[in-house]
């Protein structure tokens, strides 16, 4: 019987001489492919590492993880083994929530954490809207929700075979976000950049600027045209701003 090496969690083009790593976490149902092309678009001093969670991409056959604590326990050692240079986190939607909690988890366990956190399309942890429990919906109703979000290609939504493949992962990711319970903890000691869509569902009090309550350092908000998936519709503008945020970080490290 042949033995296969474990499928990697991190999809990256190694850049041995880079000064900074950027770990990227996708939105619900998204895979590392969301960040395809980011490496070429950003400065050569940055190495992009897209996190590939179970249940998607080459890991489609693996069961997705539905618990935030279980997910953090799996990812933290991987980050710890790749902290030979400074790094930052970028996450969109549930990916931003994962990035935030992972930054707190690393600090709690005495592991070097990110030098900057970029959270995109995600309400502040202390100001999240009440859960709509989308993960409990029947398949057809969940597909209708995805259609309203306007983040899944229509041809995918119309394919029963494709949806049967991806719905378990999407459902697991919704469960991860909807069962999330914020717990108070020490403030992060790092700058936070908040990317928000002008037409996203983030208009409640504190849902955007409330991220400032999670850090003892600066917190800046950058607005983009578009709804929840502005990360795709405004890709060039998002990448330009990511480059600005990381150039500033590189400058601080070189000073």
Residues designated catalytic = 93
d(CA 24, CA 97) in angstroms, rounded, equals: 12
Sign of the alpha-carbon dihedral angle for 73, 74, 75, 81:
positive
d(CA 201, CA 188) in angstroms, rounded, equals: 26
Cα angle for residues 154, 200, 90 (degrees, 5° grid) = 90
Which residue reads 């056959």 in tokens? 61
d(CA 224, CA 47) in angstroms, rounded, equals: 25
d(CA 214, CA 225) in angstroms, rounded, equals: 25
């Amino acid at each position: 019987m042949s033995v296969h090496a474990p499928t990697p969690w991190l999809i990256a083009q190694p850049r041995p001489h880079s000064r900074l790593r950027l770990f990227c976490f996708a939105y619900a149902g998204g895979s590392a492919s969301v960040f395809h092309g980011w490496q070429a678009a950003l400065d050569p001093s940055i190495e992009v590492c897209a996190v590939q969670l179970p249940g998607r991409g080459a890991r489609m056959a693996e069961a997705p993880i539905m618990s935030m604590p279980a997910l953090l326990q799996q990812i933290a050692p991987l980050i710890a083994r790749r902290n030979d240079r400074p790094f930052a986190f970028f996450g969109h939607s549930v990916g931003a929530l994962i990035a935030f909690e992972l930054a707190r988890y690393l600090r709690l366990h005495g592991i070097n954490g990110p030098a900057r956190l970029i959270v995109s399309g995600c309400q502040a942890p202390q100001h999240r809207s009440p859960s709509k429990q989308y993960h409990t919906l029947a398949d057809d109703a969940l597909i209708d929700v995805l259609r309203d979000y306007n983040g899944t290609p229509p041809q995918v939504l119309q394919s029963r075979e494709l949806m049967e493949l991806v719905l378990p992962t999407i459902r697991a990711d919704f469960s991860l976000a909807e069962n999330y319970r914020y717990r108070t903890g020490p403030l992060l000691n790092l700058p936070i950049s908040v990317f928000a869509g002008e037409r996203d569902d983030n208009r409640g009090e504190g849902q955007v600027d409330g991220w400032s309550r999670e850090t003892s350092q600066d917190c800046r908000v950058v607005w983009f045209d578009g709804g929840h998936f502005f990360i795709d519709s405004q890709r060039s503008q998002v990448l330009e701003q990511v480059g600005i945020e990381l150039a500033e970080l590189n400058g601080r490290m070189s000073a």
